[in-house]
Structure formats: C-alpha cells, structure tokens
Amino acid sequence: MVGRLIQTAKSAYQYPLIFKQLWHTPLPDQEVVYRDLKRFTYRQIRERIGRLASALSKAGVVPGDTVSVLDWDSHRFLEAFFAIPMMGAVLQTVNVRLSPEQIAYTIDHAGASTLLVNDDFVGLLEGLKAQLPKIKRLIVMSDRPAPQTGSLSFVGEYESLLAAASPDYDFPDFDENTQATTFYTTGTTGLPKGVAGAAARRVRKTSAYRRGSETKQEENQRHHNKSTGREIWRRAFTRLSKWSAPVPNPGKKPRLQPSIELRRR
C-alpha cells in the first residue's frame, strides 16, 4: 500500500540517511584514543577517512565492491567503518574469533575483492590464501614500525597509502537502502550466516544504541547538546567504543571520558 506522496521540486535535495551526513555537523573537541599508541581529534579522523577512501579508490575499489577488514578494534577499524560505506562499497568486518576455516568462508562468501589485514594475522592469512580466490588486493596494517608481511604480496601499507592520498575524497550521494555492511553470526549450527545492513539502518543503529541505555541525566544532557552539534558524534562513536572493553593498566587509575577508548578485544 502506498499513501499520498508529497511531490518535491526537481531541485530539492532528498538528503539520504547515509554516514556522509554525520560529518556535516560541527566536530566536537574530543579525541579518539587507540591504546597508548595513537591520539586523533575528530577533525583528523575525518581527514583520514577521506584519505582512506582516496587510497582505496586508487587501488581499484569501486561502489558495490566488498572490502573486508581483519583487524582489532583500532583507529583503522573506525576509519574503515565510515570510509568504505561512504564510498558506496560494502564493509565486511571479519570476526577474528572464528576458526580459520570459518574466517576464510566468510571472506569468500561475502565476495570481498580487497582485504585490509593487521599483520598480527599474516601467518593466519598465509594458510588461507588458497581459499580466497576472489581477493584481488591486500593492504597491510600494523602497530609496529615495520609491518610483518611474510610471504604475502601487498599493494601497500595502510599509513603509507593514507599519507600519499588526498583527504578531499568526493563522497557520493546514493540511495539510503544501499548495502553498507556485511556481518556474520557466531555460535550457530553449521557455517556462519551473513547479515546485510543498509546505510540508513547503520546510521539509525548507532543513534539507537546509545539512546536505549541513557539515564535521565544523560537524556537531559543530550537535549542540551543538540544545540551544539555534539550529540550526533557521541552517538555515532559510542557504539564503536562499546564493542570492546578497556584493558586495565596495573598501577594506574583508569582515565575517564571524554576520550573515546579503542582497545583490542
């Protein structure tokens, strides 16, 4: 059933609900912190997202392609979470807790042509390479000064590719029902099951995740924050930061927010 639609002017901008729109709000003065290794402001993260999209595009990624990410919960994961769907490509977050055979199955089943891999998993990937015939290009990521590449051939190292890429990627508009992500289940009978997520659903989910767990005080603060543009950022990044628990550092008191902590699972 279709109700009466309001006719819009041809020149009217339809404003699809996609990740690109989140970056049109004022950026708050907060930091994204990855372990004790990296600190970035939101403005720097936005620039790095543009650089990642430019680098992936130059490597051959086009809208509709699937890009798999085999990494810990890092700043790179956060950048890929935005950059890949914003390009119109599909992000597959590889579940590192699956068995090697299931990891290979999910990457191949998702149809990934590009794989971003943390060098902690190079040894694993060497044993799975023969099971990934659809992978055309590999990009290595590392927390080390020099990444470990083993016997694998990579088109480049993540930070080097970003450094050589433009931050001014022209992210396109597209239908908000365009597929943005592919996740795979765990703990089910048989092989992991793929779940596709549309761009609009991913944006709504980041908003609803935080909204459903807030206290009355937080709700009041959210209404106050709306006028400053900080709220949509808090919601968008809260979901990512909740995916992993902070790793305690013996002998030191835990640091409190506002910094967003991205830790290894």
CATH of the domain at 152: 3.40.50.12780
Q: Residue 130 is part of which domain span?
A: 19-244+256-262
**150 Rama class: left (phi>0) / alpha (psi -120 to 50) / beta:** left
Would you state the structure tokens that stand for residue 200, as one six-digit string?
């609009």
Q: How many domains does the chain have?
A: 1
> Would 158 be classed as within a structural domain?
yes
Please say if the pLDDT value at position 61 is more than 90: yes
Please say if the pLDDT value at position 8 is more than 60: yes
> Would 2 be classed as within a structural domain?
no
> Would 219 be classed as within a structural domain?
yes
Mean pLDDT computed over 174-203: 77
> Would 174 be classed as within a structural domain?
yes
> Would 3 be classed as within a structural domain?
no
> Would 9 be classed as within a structural domain?
no
> Would 105 be classed as within a structural domain?
yes
What gap in Å lies between CA 45 and CA 40, rounded to an integer? Answer: 6
What SS3 class is residue 35?
coil
39, 33 Cβ separation under 8 angstroms: yes
42-46, 196-200, 231-235 — most confident range:
42-46
> Would 237 be classed as within a structural domain?
yes
Mean pLDDT computed over 19-29: 63
229, 28 Cβ separation under 8 angstroms: yes
Per-residue pLDDT of 114-123, as tens digits, reads: 999 999 999 9
Residue 150 class from Cβ within 10 Å (0-12 exposed, 13-18 middle, 19+ buried)? middle
Closest CA to 236 of 38, 49, 87, 61: 49
